[in-house]
Amino acid sequence: MKITLGELATKLGLTLKGEAGTMITGLNTLKEAQVGEISFLANPSYQSQLAESQASAVIVAEDQAELVTSSALISANPYLSFAQASQLFNNRPAFSAGIHETAVIADTAVIADGVSVGANAVIGEHCQIASGTEIGASTVVSDHCVIGESCQLNPNVTLYHNVVLGDRVTIHSGAVIGADGFGFAPDQGKWHKICQLGGVRIGNDVEIGANTTVDRGALDDTVIEDDVIIDNLVQIAHNVRVGKGSAIAGCAGIAGSTTVGQYCTVAGGAGLAGHLNITDGVHIGPMALISKSITEKGAYGSGTAQMPMKEWRRSATRFRQLDSMAKRLQQLEKIQKGEV
């Protein structure tokens, strides 16, 4: 894509300080940008790179515009403007409607006009796929699935039966939606499988990362509400509900029947135990283990801070001594009160 700086400023709704006729061909970081590319400054830690950047223009906040040696695109939210610019320069191959000759599609499936079905894709019985949706190569859509408009299922995605996707849902390769939840009843040393009779319902404008799994419900559905973003390698167990606008980072795991409220963030590697309720507006820190429900919004974490290994080993020894230390302290308090 080629666009003048003036046209770009208009499309992004930004104020331009510089040469409107400059031709822009792409985006890059401040450090790596070359002439013809734009960059952005959203993190003050990178401000020192402005002086030496070769970018033809930089998206910045108004109070940093004077620091830009080339043209400046002034934004109230530079990171958001960068995201919008990236969509203009998206280099993903263009969408092309049509059904590949090697695709296997059940006779009862209803596929709207303007759908793309890739090579070796499989679409099961009684599925419904709305216009503008792309089914990638070797993707499997099992029986009784409903897929909304303008969805993007990349190659090698698997939807089990009874999965419902809203509009503009993006699912990346290797993701599995609707596999059985981890439900088993123990009896005399044996595990008896609990058939998972629910499904999965995913709202509008949801993005699910590569190799992420969303299990089907045991009885009720597992639900991902509108505008949720889920990173790669995330596990969402059966009957979980994730509220509108929440974000879950890589390698996080949410155990069964837990509800995550609206506009929450779960950082990488965090784990949420089952049957919890997390209220709206909660941030869970990286590697945190959440074992109790959270009723007040705010930031929560667990575990110990980073420290040199020698110090950590000493601290670990102290952790093991805490119970006996607490008991001795209670005994001393009783002695002090004359109770012993």
Taking Cα atoms as reference points, which of 60, 52, 54 lies closest to residue 15? 60
From the number of C-beta atoms within 10 Å of its C-beta (0-12, 13-18, 19+), residue 203 rates as: buried
- Cα separation, 258 vs 240, in Å, equals 5
Residue of 126, 238, 275, 283 with catalytic role? 238
Q: In what order do the strands lie in the sheet with 37-40?
A: 15-17, 71-74, 57-60, 37-40, 26-27
Q: What is the DSSP letter of 89?
A: T
- Cα separation, 244 vs 336, in Å, equals 54
In sequence order, what are the residues at sequence separation of 6 or more whose Cβ sits closer than 8 angstroms to the Cβ of residue 230?
206, 207, 208, 209, 212, 224, 236, 242, 247, 248
Contact 117, 103 (CB under 8 A): yes
- DSSP for 24-61, please give it: E-EE--TTT--TTEEEE--SGGGGGGTTT---SEEEE-
Please name the residue that has the structure tokens 């499936």: 109
Contact 17, 6 (CB under 8 A): no
Q: Is 238 a catalytic residue?
A: yes
Q: Which two tokens stand for residue 120?
A: 């070796």
**Buried/exposed 285-319: b ≥16 CB within 10 Å, e otherwise:** beebebeeebeeeeebeeeeeeeeeeeeeeeeeee
Q: Which two tokens stand for residue 174?
A: 């290797």
Taking Cα atoms as reference points, which of 66, 67, 79, 37 lies closest to residue 54? 37
Which residues are designated catalytic?
A: 238
